[in-house]
Structure 1
Amino acid sequence: SGRIFMGVALFLLVQISLIHDVRTEESYGDFDDDAEPEEYSDASENLFLTVGATRNREDDLEDVWAMRSWDGEVQWDDDVALLNGRNFHRFVQQVPHVLVQFYAPWCGHCQKFEPVYRRAASHLRMERVEAVLAKVDAMAEPQLTRELDVAGFPSLHWFAYGAQRSYGGGRRNETLVNWVTYHARADAVRTVSCMREAEDLLLEMGAEEAVL
């Protein structure tokens, strides 16, 4: 019997170019005179799925901004989280999408970028985008900076469900907001090859298996 999960919406895209439904004897899809249709009778068999999973948005946002009350473990500069070696890994694992700026207090480019970054953080919160902007003082956290292979300041790194990659957007408010908004949605899409992988993804995204 199938397993039932609660708290996550799962969207499935079945990647099949030509389908023949053995129940209705109808064929449809991307037709080609030489193509052989795939027989299709049960969506649980022979699936290659593109999966988009997202938890309840309101719950996610409440979780993110509730981190302001971590008994001082995470401090905030307006809507920018201030991270360090003690709270960094927990934060990027617990918050689905985080853009982190590594900066040096003496860096002129960092000082110029600071108001842009703060405005972008406030804009994302007002628009209820499921992402948080954070920053790390690289001079105060040399070990964390080396661990994450940060080179140059300001250096922006994107964390989606704990996985790190370099930021690929611009440094103006509009381009930064657009990049973060797009990737906060796009990075929720995963590819799986079987239902077991889909179930594991649901658990990873915070779903709870229902007890019936």
Structure 2
Amino acid sequence: MIHDSLINTTASLISPDIYNCQVSSDKPLKLGIMASGNGSNFEVIAQAIAEGKINAQIQVLIYNNPEAKAAARAEKWGVEAVLLNHRDCKNREKFDSKIVQTLQQYDVEFVIMAGWMRLVTQVLIDAFPNRIINIHPSLLPSFKGVQAVEQAIAAKVKITGCSVHLVSLEVDSGEILIQSAVPVLANDTSETLHARIQVQEHRILPMAISLLSQRK
């Protein structure tokens, strides 16, 4: 039987229960979170910090969609939210320059792309080398890019899932930190499958941040 909670990790993730490890006495990771939509992953991170499950603090939320619900979630948690609308910039590099400037203004050390729906450029990557992670709704390297859930259904695979990976210039191609597998059911729609994948996203994203704290 395949369980939704099946966890597959790279060799770098040694602990079988990293999420429940003791929070270190070191200074917390200073996180900058980037989101474009609902912000549920933002809230999961904030909750994990509040419960002492990861040693981190959220310095700022950056969002690019004026209607993103993530901003309201940030307000709820007392985190400053900054709107940077990509439509106000002539190109991706200028947009990323604004992002870098904002992240540096808030003294961010690690960047979490939690539902960020924009391609990044070398400008952002060079400013935070090996310090940007992304959550993607597939078992990478399968189904990169947009509509990953729809791609999985169209391919008629029996298992998909989600991955947290380091961000590189090539889309969804950086080092995989942690993954979780989710079975594809015969009657699944993109909505039902995405909902089950999101449960696992909420589980492994705090794990990945805990892993970052060990790498620091």
The TM-score with structure 2 as length reference comes to: 0.28
Q: Which has the larger radius of gyration?
A: 1
Higher RCO (C-alpha under 8 Å, 6+ residues apart) = 1
Higher strand share: 1
The TM-score with structure 1 as length reference comes to: 0.28
